[in-house]
Amino acid sequence: MIQAAVTGACGRMGTLIMSNILQAGDIELVAGFDFVRVGEDIGSVVLGGALGINVTSPDNLESELVRTMPDVLIDFTIAQAAVKTIETACKCGVDLVVGTTGFTQEQQQQNMENITKAGIKAVIAPNFSIGVNVFLKLLEEASKHLYNYDIEIIEAHHNQKKDAPSGTAIKAAEVINQQIGVQKPVIYGREGFSPRGSEIAIHALRGGDIVGDHTVLFAGEGERIEIKHQAHSRQSFAAGAITAVRWLCSQQNIPGVYGMKDVLKL
């Protein structure tokens, strides 16, 4: 049985992931951390019934991780908080599945250093849905042939999303640049006098309850291709995170930072 803990337990993703864990026969939830609903039974957060495990304040993350020693800590919170959470998990020798987005390059670097130094395993992905990871694979193929086309990335999310552009949109630009082997400049939106050059432009839309849309446009002379992914529900992310948990726990003694590309063998 895999023992798992969740940070961001009372958030949109955390609640759904805990619900998935409670329904899985091979994963046991041993702790849940959040600043809200501290002391409430996690069962009442997820199911409406008692479970006997209470929401713990992140102030007690280290002592609770030491007490419960989960195989994996799943983090869907906010970047600034996640950096500290990752550091604490490293200190406690607990493996990680991190879905939080919005890390700066310095924060990413810090996370990598902490994980590598601690010799733990982590799956970090800006998007855990299988569809999005296949979408990224399709982008590699398209970029091989359409590197001279104008490339624009358009993403849309719900009005509560805190970071922009989305981690997936940034990842899409990285994948394209890696495939092309040339660092096309990445810009965010356009305004005023801004003639088009070789840049990849990312445009972020925020509204209503949009779960997550990503479109990459390759536009050339007389034609265009759009590669598009639309998430209909957060369950696509939660299911992918659970797949990552199982994969991570099946990897014996191979410390390092992995992505969904590794998990899905893409």
Ligand X SMILES: NC(=O)c1ccc[n+]([C@@H]2O[C@H](COP(=O)([O-])OP(=O)(O)OC[C@H]3O[C@@H](n4cnc5c(N)ncnc54)[C@H](O)[C@@H]3O)[C@@H](O)[C@H]2O)c1
C-alpha span between 11 and 28 (Å, rounded): 19
Among 4, 8, 90, 176, binds ligand X (CB under 6 A): 8
Pick 136 or 146: Cβ nearer ligand X: 136
CA-to-CA separations, 170 to 80, 115, 136, 173, in angstroms, rounded: 18, 22, 11, 5
Residue 198 C-beta: closest distance to ligand X, Å = 29
C-alpha to C-alpha distances, 72 to 24, 48, 173, 258, nearest whole angstrom: 15, 25, 30, 14
Report the alpha-carbon distance of residue 222 to residue 68 in Å, rounded.
61
Measured CA distances, 99 to 25, 40, 206, 215, 238 (Å): 22, 24, 20, 21, 10
- DSSP one-letter string for 198-239: SPEEEEEEE-TT--EEEEEEEEETTEEEEEEEEESSTHHHHH
Nearer to ligand X, 7 or 68 (CB): 7
Q: Which residue is nearest to ligand X (CB)?
A: 11
Interface stretch with ligand X, choices 3-11, 45-53, 191-199, 214-222 (CB under 6 A): 3-11
Minimum distance between the CB of residue 250 and ligand X, rounded to whole angstroms? Answer: 20
Of the candidates 157, 171, 214, 229, the residue annotated as catalytic is 157
Comparison of 33 and 258: residue with beta carbon closer to ligand X: 33
Question: Which of helix, strand or coil describes residue 254?
Answer: coil
Fill in the per-residue mask, 32 to 71: x = in contact with ligand X (CB under 6 A), - = not in contact. Answer: -xxxx---------------------x-------------
- Interface of this chain with ligand X, residues 133 to 152, rule: CB under 6 A: none
Give yes or no: 161 in active site: yes
- Of residues 34 and 64, the one with the C-beta less far from ligand X: 34
Q: Is 229 annotated as contributing to ligand binding? A: no
* Among positions 4, 5, 102, 103, the unique one binding ligand X when judged by CB under 6 A: 102
The CA-atom distances, in angstroms, between 92 and each of 71, 85, 163, 190, 240 are: 11, 11, 29, 45, 25
- What is the nearest approach in angstroms of ligand X to the Cβ of residue 83? 10
Options 76, 103, 135, 258; binder of ligand X; rule CB under 6 A = 76
The radius of gyration of the chain from alpha carbons, rounded to an integer in Å, stands at 19
Residues 152-171 within binding reach of ligand X (CB under 6 A) = 163
Q: Is 158 part of any known ligand binding site?
A: yes
Sheet of 2-7: strand order equals 55-56, 27-33, 2-7, 72-75, 95-98, 121-124, 256-258
Please indicate if the annotation marks 249 as binding a ligand. Answer: no
Taking the complex as a whole, the smallest distance from the CB of residue 95 to ligand X amounts, in Å, to 17
13 is an annotated ligand-binding site residue = yes
H-helix segments, the chain: 12-23, 42-46, 61-68, 79-92, 105-118, 130-146, 167-180, 235-250, 260-263
* Smallest distance, ligand X to C-beta of residue 125, A: 5
Please confirm, yes or no, whether 228 is among the known catalytic residues. no
Residue list for the binding site for NADP(+): 37
Q: Where on the chain is the footprint of ligand X (CB under 6 A)?
A: 7-8, 10-14, 33-36, 58, 76-78, 81, 85, 99-102, 125-128, 163, 237
Active-site residue numbers? 157, 161
